[in-house]
Amino acid sequence: MQAPNDNIKESKKYKKLISNTAILGIGTFGSKLLVFFLMPLYTHYLSTAQYSDADLITQTANLLLPLVSAGICEAVFRFTLDDAYDKKDVFSSGLSTILLGSAVLALISPLLSFISYFGEYTWLICLYVISSCLHSLCAQFVRAEGKSALFAGQGILGTAITIALNILFLVAFNMGVIGYVLSVVIADILTSLLLLFPFKVYKNISPASVKKKTVGKMLKFSIPLIPTTVFWWITNVADRYMVKSMIGSDINGLYAAAYKIPSLLILLSGIFIEAWQFSALTERKSPDAVNFFGVVFESFQGVMFMAAAAMISFSRIIPMILFAPSYYEAWRYMPILISATVFSSLVTFMGSVYLVNKKSILSFITAFIGAAVNVILNFILIPTPLGANGAAIATFASYFIVFIIRAINSRSHIPFNLHTVKLVINTGIIALQTAFILFELPMWQAVQVICVAAVLTVNAAPILKGVKKLLRR
């Protein structure tokens, strides 16, 4: 039987996790949901080819982000949480790294103009990268300081600015691709200035506080994350470049639009993972850490599979509501991409074990395997009659394989309960859903209802039990 003090301590860590998740959820999910519902605007004012170009521009910028910043934003978050390091030293080291990387990007930017995809948009890509790096640095610093409400609030403000500028640039000024991307750039700049000055993050800028030893340790942590991030980018985005090259911009525009639906799952898991990483790091030395990881993983996978089952069942209806009629066929790629996103989220959860133990090399190795599997399968499957769904299958396979590897490997560091039987049942249910809806098998509508009910039955009880236990305490 647990002592009263042990019960109080256990209750506090779950409450902190739920509290942080709720705050981040209100800020991040609420704001991003507004952007999601702007899909009718985007699909109305951008053709499928333009939407393809806008997507590839932002994804190319996302590839350059870890290269320009040397992955330092992740290190700023991790080292700010460590009491052994001075916060001014950590933040100033991060800012110096980003300023140096931005200068290098500006010098080599003419090389990007030789790439036919982005020639005329090179300046826009550079602005996107630099503004995003600065915003990420400031946001990760306040997040590490435990200012969850501020972190969420600046996300809401940034989204509001993006929405306002999207309407202005796309509807009023008809700026097309440039307006779509420039909205994000300006929003990043303004939210960075908000954090730096009104909320006084600038007080942590102190070149004199920078220590070579700290910079070295931060870069030792962050640099292995660069290829890791690049490999995840390949897994997430390379298929869109390959679909564009092998099939064309119009199909890629549909495929990119289809990606927006499972992005809700990424958003849902991302909110939780941001809160979870904070709890995982602060509770890493707790004697109950193994049980803590197991309980949280059971609830996390349950929520992800329930959300995925619901989204798959409505995958033929959602495009009717959110997309222009010319984008309706995007539904065909959604079920497999939604399934892939579930395993992407589970892979990220497993990565928290590597974060806690500073095993960034393991993140690198597993990310490399995922990228290699993805690219090879894309080359094999996209030219077949599967077309863009071949790319979706490649994405699912790469995440599934990496999850299996991480699930085995991460438990050698923290041997928490994977609830394997439940995991297998959940996977089988959404696989059945996907097959019935894609092939329009007899009674496919009824099967969707049955599968959603089955996933709820398997997962709802443990989640409700945990919530009741927490409220009782």
Q: Which of 166, 191, 223 is the last residue of a domain?
A: 223
Q: 151-163 pLDDT, tens per residue?
A: 878 888 888 899 8
Gap between the Cα atoms of 16 and 379, Å rounded:
45
Q: Are the CB atoms for 74 and 59 separated by under 8 Å? A: no
pLDDT of residue 473: 43
- Tell me how many domains the chain contains: 2
Residues 196 and 312 grouped into a single domain:
no
Does 26 reside within a domain? no
Residues 150 and 202 grouped into a single domain:
yes
Q: Which of 223, 250, 285 is the last residue of a domain?
A: 223
Residues 259 and 195 grouped into a single domain:
no
Chain-centroid distance of CA 445 in Å reads: 31
Q: Are the CB atoms for 418 and 371 separated by under 8 Å? A: no
Residues 243 and 172 grouped into a single domain:
no
Does 263 reside within a domain? yes
Chain-centroid distance of CA 305 in Å reads: 17
Residues 246 and 375 grouped into a single domain:
yes
Residues 285 and 433 grouped into a single domain:
yes
Gap between the Cα atoms of 438 and 454, Å rounded:
20
Residues 268 and 199 grouped into a single domain:
no
Q: What is the DSSP letter of 80?
A: H
Does 295 reside within a domain? yes
Long-range Cβ contact pairs of 435-442 (< 8 A, separation 24 or more): 437/312, 437/313, 437/315, 437/316, 437/335, 438/332, 438/335, 438/336, 438/389
Gap between the Cα atoms of 317 and 281, Å rounded:
41
Does 148 reside within a domain? yes
Residues 203 and 301 grouped into a single domain:
no
Residues 274 and 365 grouped into a single domain:
yes
Residues 359 and 257 grouped into a single domain:
yes
Does 20 reside within a domain? no
Residues of the chain with pLDDT under 50: 1, 4, 470, 473
Q: How far apart are the first and last CA of the chain?
A: 16
Does 391 reside within a domain? yes
Segments forming the whole domain that contains residue 366: 224-473
Does 27 reside within a domain? no
For 201-221, letters b (16+ CB in 10 Å) and e give beebeeeebbeeebbebbbeb
Residues 174 and 109 grouped into a single domain:
yes
Residues 192 and 325 grouped into a single domain:
no
Does 11 reside within a domain? no
Q: Which of 192, 223, 254 is the last residue of a domain?
A: 223
**Structure-token pair, residue 426:** 């959940």
pLDDT of residue 396: 96
**Measuring CA to CA, how many Å separate 394 from each of 152, 203, 231, 399?**
34, 47, 14, 9
Amino acid residing at 172: A
